[in-house]
Amino acid sequence: MLQISKGKPPACIAELQRTPGATWASVGGDQKEAMRAALLAEQGHLCAYCMSRVHNDPHRCGVEHWRPRSDPGTDPFHWNDLLAVCDGNAGAPHVLQHCDKHRGDAPLTLHPASPAQNVEDRVAYRLDGRIECADADALNLNCRRLLENRRMVQDAVRQRCLNFDATALRQDLAEWSGVDAEGRRRPFAGVALALLRRRLEAVEKRSKRTRGNRER
């Protein structure tokens, strides 16, 4: 997962909140498209949960409620709780589905858009592609489809930065943290960032020890 900085909601959110009796069922197609566009811009066009590429297409991108709408008193238009998610392998058996399709109404612990918690500090990626975090099972983030995609990113980044010094590692970190000309982040960016941060920390520690030995 990646930390999401929420921006200004589209005008339709305020309109819906002002409309007496408005429910999620009353949201129009144009309103949902505006929500998806704003959410994808915030998220760099990546799924809020699995970090796969998402496009503004009603069949390939959903507007997810982090707090289930079934919870009593939930505001279905609370912008901080709205996230853009992938199709979750919809149509496949439940064991192969992921993200919101697998989650259903299960409560979650990690909120990618919560300023109170940095989800990137609460997630660990293993060398075999597995992700370890509080909601991995609820979202089925270790299904084969996602595990293999994460492992491919890890292998490519590990091979690329094998002999990088601290300067080169920081440059790669900046590139994986940024967006392209269309505002898109690289798919599974969180996996690469975690690996690069670990590698940079190890390089800096080694460099510090070397300097210390020379000064003795």
Burial 127-164 (b: 16+ CB within 10 A, else e): eebebebebbebbbbbbebbbebbbebbeebeeebeeb
CA distances from 69 to 10, 106, 167 (A): 20, 11, 46
CA dihedral 170, 176, 180, 186 (to 10 degrees): 170
Task: Indicate if the pLDDT at residue 215 is higher than 80.
Answer: no
* pLDDT at residue 122 greater than cutoff 90: yes
Say if residues 170 and 200 touch (Cβ distance below 8 Å).
yes
Q: Are 167 and 25 in contact (CB under 8 A)?
A: no
The structural domains of the chain, with segments of one domain joined by +, span 11-215
Helix (H) / strand (E) element for 177: namely helix 166-177
Whether 10 has a pLDDT exceeding 90, the answer reads yes
pLDDT bracket for residue 213 (50, 70, 90): low
pLDDT at residue 58, rounded to an integer: 84
**Token pair in block for residue 4:** 């999401």
Joined together, the tokens standing for residue 91 give: 């149509």
Q: What is the pLDDT of residues 19-45, one digit of tens each?
A: 999 999 989 999 999 999 999 999 999
Tell me the pLDDT band of 181, cut-offs 50, 70 and 90.
very high
Write down the mean pLDDT value for the chain: 93
